[in-house]
Amino acid sequence: MSTPTTTATAQSAAQVNRHKADWRGWKFMWPFAAVFAFVFIIPIAYAIYISFFQQRLIGGNVFVGVDNYTRLFQDQQFWTAVGRVALFTVVQVPIMLFLAAALALAIDSMKLHGTKFFRIATFLPYAVPAVVSTLIWGFAYGAKYGLVGSFNSFFGTNFDAFAPSVLLASIGNIVTWEFTGYNMLIFYSSLSTIPHSLYEAASIDGASEWDIVKSIKLPELRGSLAITVIFSIIGSFQLFNEPSILQNMVPGNAITTNYTPNMYAYNLSFSGNQSNYAAAMAIVMAVITMVIAYAVQLRSMKDQMK
Amino acid sequence: MKFGKKAIAAVGSLAMLGSIAACGSNSGNANSGSASSDGKVTLTVWAWDSTIPRTVKGFEAANPNIKVKIVNAGTSKDEYTALSNAMQAGSGAPDMAQIEYYALPEYVTRGYMQNVADNGAKDFGDFYTPGTWASVSLNGGVYGLPMDSGPMAWFYNKEVFDKAGVDPTQVKSWDEFYEAAKKIRATGSYITSDSGDAGFFDSMTWQNGAKPFDTSSDGKTVTINLTGDDKVKGFVDWWQKLISEDLIDTKTAGWTDDWNKGLDNGSIASLLIGAWMPYNLLSGAPNGDGKWRVTQMPTSDGQPAGSESGGSSLGIIKSDDKAKVDAAYKYLEYVTHNKEGIATRVEAGAFPADNNTLNSPDFLNVTSITDADGKAHEYFGGQKFNEELATAAKNVRAGYKFLPFEVYARGKFGDFVGKSFTDKQKLSDGVKAWQDDIVSYAKQQGYSVKE
Amino acid sequence: MTEKTMSASMTAAEKERAAKKAEKLRQKRVAADEKAERKRSAKAGFANVNNPRRSLTLTILSAIFAVYCLFPFAYLLINSTKTQADFSSTFGLGPGHSFAFFDNVAKVFTYNDGIFTRWLLNTLLYVVVGAGGATLLAIMGGYALAKFRFPGRKAVFAIIIGSISVPGIALAVPQFLLFAKLGLTNTPWAMLIPSLISPFGLYLMWIFSEQSVPTELLEAARVDGASEWHTFWKISLPLLSPGIVTTALFTIVATWNNYFLPMIMIKDSDWYPLTIGLNQWKSQAATAGGIPIQNLVITGSLITIIPLVIAFLCLQRYWQSGLAAGAVKE
């Protein structure tokens, strides 16, 4: 990795660095690092190890080399699931982040009646556990007795939120509901670091409200966009809680056991006696996620690494 | 330690530091209740059945040296998942577990279950109904004892059927059921609902005499023949007709709030379901009180035949600790074989698996069920419903076999067959795709497969 | 510790306090000015960018979104007043035939010998120790990343980003096996130890430390001979406090709402957190002989959410400034 460091930050780093290995940082870093190694690194290493084996009901545990990986690349069910979360990511993440950014701009503009109310109201869904929010939305989607049902009987329509073709959008709505406020807050906080003198200067120069948004606020959002995009991509690729809790409420098993890669891996390892194959899947998914996250935004995050 | 007291005080709100430091030194606190020095044994039992906890008091009174701890580790598949995990890890498994009949062969194959034949259970053959006894007698051993059973019966809302001019007691064959479904549909209701339920599919094909699955005596070869079995096809063709003509509700998933509401208000007019249903009806569809009745299942040719739906065994998890196994067997015997133990559970709604109870007048003459608040309801309008259900139990066909990986297979049913209910896919195509998946799974697991 | 360093840090701390006081006063003045100006501009019809005229259109648009955000809460509130019978027979957003709210609350706390209280206490334990610990580790780690150029620093960043891309669900198997081997499953440790890691918290504290702890201040303390620990606790930590509140809030929410981890790790209802307990109540209806208690599930859900909502409202002032000062920026 070549790091495009800026001279200014390199200087400040040099002040701290006394030209020899400076181990003092580890005094503060080690507790995090130790627990992290225990909870993440060791299990990941173990997952890599077991991904080269196969446990069979008949025949026991055998070393199979990269068989699990070659099988994975031909596994239609897996790639369907990957395709589904990819579609989800491409559609839901931009919508959610757009809403979040628009809301952050609206609240930051101070043009709302009751700014404080909106700030807290839109953030509140984040406090609701996925179990509860899925339960509530599951009710709302009920084609018979839920809100969708009432809507249908009122307007004489025949909309079905659980139909296989709209189901993904219905899940997307739950995720959007849960996390828009959270992302809004990240955007909002980065907007509020802009010194107000900048706006004054701009307006004296005759800039309109839109000009200010375009040339001052939006560029400011770019930085926080990096982090929200990365976390959102990782989140959507790991989609699990909402579809798996919704599973029992949806007719026709429209949420299959391989609806998302995570659900597939979970079902394989926990009810299919295939934890080895699931481990291989986890590793491939990690690589895919990393590549995408990197391609999309990591570059700008790397600037953080002065 | 560099974490001085002052420092901790400085972040008063983060006082949990002490407990983190303690975390490193704390170990050996993890036991799953083995026999301790004073001869007392604690048994951990995983069960989600709500009647099981009621047996603890009576048992502990009779066996003061044994303490029973019931843990709800999840319903059905969730519990099996946890059990597999714990067995794989070699720690955290319970001493006993509730396991449905369909799942038992799988865990016996994996070697999780204790054979209790020599503890005395091998002589219990005549005590239980033939179907449930066959379900626990596997590979020449006895791997658990029947807790309850679920012979299929037809529960219906008489009010809706009266309105449609149909008398279910006169509906004997599948063709007549189809005609009845049309009349019910004309009133606006659906005769029943199904949006793709593996258990229902199994029970219906079983009732029709299908034998799609078999395992060789050495356990290494499985037969999977869903697509070639005429009896499976018989059910599939009939059910397809009902789905295609919109005669059953495919939009309401079973066991949801919507489903309960449908049963409650009569828009789902009847259920083909296990005999354990009365208590669920009372709590899930309270407005149906007094309106519902039970009768025998319709069959393809109109001749009485039956099958099981659900029903669980209670088993002991394999262990070398003899004292533990003996204690566990005592509890097992109490729950499944002891008169008092069985009665405690039947009172609370369990449907019995033993012949004595099924033939006892006390049981057969019951006309009311008791709700959680202790109030009795004549939910079936004064009908002696247990009489009907006991007849259904006697009609259960013998000889149906589950796969040694039935839990996986059922989990996959919805993936492939579900589309036949919500989409345009034909039911037979769904079954074919399901079979292909099970076959390839079996091969991966090292089985030889006969199709 | 020498007397000299003590006095040096004291003065640093005093300075800090004085600066804070001045800042508070300044903010008060600004607020008063703004208010006055708002009045003036309203009268004069002149809008200032710093203090623009309120827009009704924008407010309505935002209000639509706020309704979307809040309606599920309304659903919970309305349905927590219904009995099970009403729940399954009346319209979801309409009232029931009776008002059973207090009855439901009482039932939630007494059902199954009051197991809900136990779950609530468990959740509190997980939040205090787990989220508290996660915050502390994040503070220390973030501080280290921001203020020291130690060997392996870049690797730490790469490894953390890499590791959080691994689906946690699939990691659960090896994680579970590891914990089971150590005899930690079915104990609170299985829930607590993984909760100690919050990559997002680490990231926040890193950015925050970079911006709000001046390197010169640390250098000065070091010249005075203060130890790194002393500098951290006495000088840096107070400066970081708004960021700490923010990080704590995120870790608290994450732990409070954690569902997957306890689902895998804990199969002993005595150690369930609320999320697992509620889900168990919800699914208990779907079995033979099971009794639906959706009224208790709904009321229990409401009770689960309330502490977090209260925490949000109370802490909002702090975390707002925390996020703002430590804002994630390029």
Q: Does C288 touch chain A (CB under 8 A)?
A: no
Is-contact A302 C207, C-beta < 8 A? no
Confidence of residue C3 (pLDDT cuts 50, 70, 90): very low
Mean pLDDT of C28-56: 61
Which fold does the domain A75-302 belong to in CATH?
Answer: MetI-like fold (1.10.3720)
- Contact at 8 Å (CB) between A199 and A119? no
Window 379-418 of B, Cβ < 8 Å to A: 404-405, 407-408, 411-415, 417-418
Q: Which two tokens stand for residue B110?
A: 């994996």
pLDDT value for B27: 31
Q: Which fold has domain C114-325?
A: MetI-like fold (1.10.3720)
C-alpha distances out from residue A284 to A48, A68, A85, B334, B444, Å:
10, 11, 14, 50, 20
- Residue with the larger pLDDT of the pair C85 and B73: B73
Between positions 28 and 87 of C, the ones with CB within 8 A of A are: 48-56, 58-59, 61-63, 65-66, 68-70, 72-73, 75-76
**Distance of alpha carbon C292 from alpha carbon C297, whole angstroms:** 9
Strand B312-316 and strand B96-100: pairing? Answer: antiparallel
Type of residue at A272: G
pTM (2 d.p.): 0.83
Residue A274 backbone phi and psi in degrees, to 5: -130, 45
Is the CB of C327 inside 8 Å of chain A's CB atoms? yes
Flag whether residue A11 sits within 8 Å of chain B, measured between CB atoms: no
Task: Give B252's contacts in chain A (Cβ within 8 Å).
Answer: 144, 251
Confidence of residue B14 (pLDDT cuts 50, 70, 90): very low
In the predicted structure, residue C124 carries a pLDDT above the cut 70: yes
Residues of C in contact with A89 (CB under 8 A): none
Task: Give the model's pLDDT for residue C62.
Answer: 92
Domains within chain B, CATH numbers bracketed: 41-149+310-352 (3.40.190.10), 152-308+364-450 (3.40.190.10)
Instruction: Report pLDDT for B17.
Output: 30
Please report, rounded to a whole number, the percentage of residues in chain A having pLDDT higher than 70.
Answer: 90
Place of tokens 């925050």: C208
B287 and chain A in contact, CB less than 8 A: no
Q: Please give, rounded to a whole number of angstroms, the shortest distance from the CA of A75 to a CA of chain B.
A: 12
Least confidently predicted of A251-260, B33-42, B133-142, C182-191:
B33-42
Average pLDDT over residues B274-301: 93
The two tokens of residue B68 are 């029973």
Residues found in chain A: 306
Q: Is the pLDDT of residue B8 over 50?
A: no
Q: Is B84 an interface residue toward A (CB < 8 Å)? A: yes
Residue B307: what pLDDT? Answer: 94
Interfacial C residues in 252-271 facing B (CB < 8 Å): 264, 267-269
In a mutational test of the B interface, the residue from A53, A70, A137, A145 whose CB has the highest number of chain B CBs within 10 Å is A145
pLDDT in tens, B28-56: 333 344 444 567 899 999 999 889 999 99
Whether the CB of C212 is below 8 Å from some CB of chain B: the reply is no
Mean pLDDT of the residues in chain A: 83
Looking at the complex, does the CB of residue C98 fall below 8 Å from at least one CB of chain A? no
pLDDT at C324: 54
* Residues of chain C found within 8 Å of residue B280, distances taken between Cβ atoms: 285, 288-290
Give the whole-angstrom CA distance, residue A224 versus residue A232: 12
DSSP B12-72: GGGTTHHHHHHHHH--S--------TTS-EEEEEE---TTGGGHHHHHHHH-TTEEEEEE-
How far is the C-alpha of C83 from the C-alpha of C98, rounded, in Å?
A: 7
When CB atoms are compared, the residue of A163, A254, A271 closest to B408 is A271
Q: Using CB atoms and an 8 Å cut-off, which of residues 218-247 of chain C contact chain A? A: 219, 228-229, 232
Contacts of A42 in chain C (CB under 8 A): 174, 178
Query: How much is the pLDDT for C53?
Result: 72
What is residue A11's predicted lDDT score, i.e. its pLDDT? Answer: 42
In this prediction, residue A299 has a pLDDT band, given cuts at 50, 70 and 90, of low
From residue A140, alpha-carbon distances to A121, A151, A166, A168, C18 in Å are: 20, 10, 15, 15, 54
Confidence of residue C47 (pLDDT cuts 50, 70, 90): very low
Domain extents in chain C: 114-325
Q: How much is the average pLDDT of C247-273?
A: 88
DSSP character at residue A126: G
Tell me the average pLDDT across C162-168: 69
Give the model's pLDDT for residue C133.
96
Q: What is the pLDDT of residues C192-201, one digit of tens each?
A: 999 999 888 8
Distance in angstroms (rounded) separating the CA atoms of residues B145 and B156: 31
pLDDT of residue A302: 55
Residue A300's pLDDT is what? 57
Give the integer Cα–Cα distance in Å for A149 and A152. 5
What number is the average pLDDT over the span A112-130?
88
| Other Cβ atoms closer than 10 A to B87 | 17
Residue B137 forms beta bridges with which residues?
B142
Residue with tokens 């059945």: B49
| The amino acid at A178 | E
Please check the confidence at residue A2 and state whether its pLDDT lies above 70. Answer: no
Q: Is the pLDDT of residue B286 over 80?
A: yes
User: Cα separations (Å) of B210 from A228, B226, B246, B412?
Assistant: 55, 9, 26, 20
Lowest mean pLDDT among A52-61, B7-16, B255-264: B7-16
pLDDT of residue C50: 52
Residue B114's H or E segment, with its range, is: none
CA atoms within 13 A on the CB side of A15: 13
Binding partners of B (≥3 Cβ pairs within 8 A):
A, C
Backbone angles phi, psi at B68, to 5 degrees: -110, 130
Owner of token pair 């499944």:
B336
Confidence of residue B116 (pLDDT cuts 50, 70, 90): very high
Whether the CB of B279 is below 8 Å from some CB of chain C: the reply is yes
Task: Give the start-to-end residue ranges of the domains of chain A.
Answer: 75-302
Residue A30 has pLDDT above 90, yes or no: yes
Q: B23 and C264: CB-CB below 8 Å?
A: no
CB A57 within 8 A of CB A39: no
Q: Return the structure tokens found at A15.
A: 């002040």
- pLDDT surpasses 50 at A102: yes
For B68-109, how does the pLDDT look when each residue is reduced to its tens digit (9 = 90+)? 999 988 888 889 988 988 887 788 899 999 999 999 998 998
pLDDT band (50, 70, 90) for residue B154: very high
Q: Which residue has the higher pLDDT, B329 or C164?
A: B329
Shortest CB distance from C280 goes to which of B72, B287, B348? B72
